[in-house]
Amino acid sequence: MDVTACDRVAATFSVFYRVPRAGAVRLSDGGGPLGFDITVALLLDDLVCRYSCDAIVETGCFLGDTTEYLASRYPELPVFACDIDARYASFTRHRLAGHGNATIECGDSPEMVSAVGSRYERPLFFLDAHWGAGWPLSRELDAIAAGVAVIHDFDIGHERFAYDTYDGVALGPQILAGMRIPPKVYFTPDPDAEWPLPCLQIGRRSGVGLAAIGIDSRPMESHLHLIKRPLEPAAS
């Protein structure tokens, strides 16, 4: 790694492990930013850098572990987060009160995705609103005009990485294929990749799916730790 890359890894490490894991009160992975998987944090940092992202959006903030990490790690970027539950949004808003770059809302996540997308050119969207009876992911994806979509709890086809299922439908590539304008390819992290820092999550580790929507996918294609996968058309 060059000096700049080393500095970015050090900054990620410094912030990541200073975030309290409030999500431990409920989440099966014990809480913590990004499912307490620092390799996801390293991946997001690479994407923010490669795409020169001008905003970050998180859907489904719960108690704000990931929100606090993102706002602390990227104080120069506006960070938007939301939750459908007013209690969680209120808690996270209070928790992030000292972060002037963070905006926390209670409401429908696709609406926030669309609103942020209309104001910024290259947002990074961390889509994690997968709790409760409603599943807004398809509407979130269709609301992205241009940006980097990072879907948490995604089926990457590896037994070590968990994924969500709703009404018998796995959170996997078929969700991307069902988009109004689906991408031609998507990406998943290589489960055997050697990251600059080890993952210390010994419990539930979530898969991640990525897509470049309305923007060039080549920055992902050149990433050594990502696997490019063709997207099969949705079944008719």
Other CB atoms within a 10 A radius of the CB of residue 216 amount to: 9
Instruction: Give the pair of three-digit tokens for residue 42.
Output: 């390293």
Identify whether the C-beta of residue 16 lies closer than 8 Å to the C-beta of residue 10.
no
State the amino acid at position 108 in one-letter form. Answer: D
Provide the pLDDT for residue 3: 66
Q: What is the pTM of this model?
A: 0.96
Pairing relationship of beta strands 208-213 and 161-162 according to DSSP bridges: unpaired
Provide the pLDDT for residue 32: 96
119: exposed, middle or buried (Cβ count in 10 Å: 0-12, 13-18, 19+): exposed
Helix, strand, or coil here: 200?
Answer: coil
Identify whether the C-beta of residue 89 lies closer than 8 Å to the C-beta of residue 63.
no
At residue 111, φ and ψ (nearest 5 deg) are -65, -40
Segment 138-155, tens digit of pLDDT: 999 999 999 999 999 999
| Structural domain boundaries in the chain | 3-230
State how far Cα 128 lies from the chain centre. 7
CATH number of this structure's domain 3-230? 3.40.50.150
Cα 28 from Cα 223, distance rounded (Å): 30
Cα 140 from Cα 6, distance rounded (Å): 34
Cα 167 from Cα 145, distance rounded (Å): 27
Provide the pLDDT for residue 34: 98
State the amino acid at position 166 in one-letter form. Answer: Y
| DSSP string for residues in 58-80 | EE--TTSHHHHHHHHH-TTS-EE
Q: Which residues of the chain have pLDDT under 50?
A: none
Q: Which helix (H) or strand (E) holds 14?
A: helix 3-16
**Sign of the dihedral through C-alpha 7, 146, 123, 163:** negative
Provide the pLDDT for residue 19: 98
